[in-house]
């Protein structure tokens, strides 16, 4: 435990950020998993806007969960997975 007041505050802030970041990453992974396990394009396309929204929010500079290129890669791979599914 830190002895300095500013270090204590920073610890509290870091813990809050860690919890938020973890939930965002988990939501993205869950959304990707739903798309990958979908059996038809229609099922996957219903989840696509959710995934894109989560990824774009996570890639914003203020949040900084993932980098812009990583977000782009996730979106591209989701599109590829959907295009391989039967209609």
Residue at 4 is within a domain? no
Residue 34 — pLDDT band, cuts 50, 70, 90?
very high
Residue at 53 is within a domain? yes
The number of domains in the chain is 1
Q: Note down the domain range covering 68.
A: 12-83
More confident call, 65 vs 64: 65
Residue at 1 is within a domain? no
Residue at 65 is within a domain? yes
Residue 83 confidence (pLDDT): 94
What count of other Cβ atoms lies within 10 Å of the Cβ of residue 68?
12
State the CATH number of the domain containing residue 16. Answer: 1.20.58.110
Residue at 5 is within a domain? no
Q: Is 64 a residue whose pLDDT tops 80?
A: no
The residues near 51 (Cβ < 8 Å, ≥ 6 apart) are 28, 31, 32, 35, 74, 75, 78
Residue at 22 is within a domain? yes
């Amino acid at each position: 435990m830190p002895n300095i007041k500013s270090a204590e505050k920073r610890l509290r802030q870091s813990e809050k950020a860690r919890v938020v970041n973890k939930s965002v990453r988990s939501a993205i992974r869950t959304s990707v998993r739903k798309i990958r396990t979908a059996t038809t394009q229609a099922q996957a396309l219903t989840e696509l806007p959710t995934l894109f929204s989560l990824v774009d929010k996570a890639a914003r500079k203020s949040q900084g969960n993932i980098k812009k290129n990583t977000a782009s890669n996730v979106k591209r791979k989701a599109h590829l997975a959907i295009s391989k599914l039967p209609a």
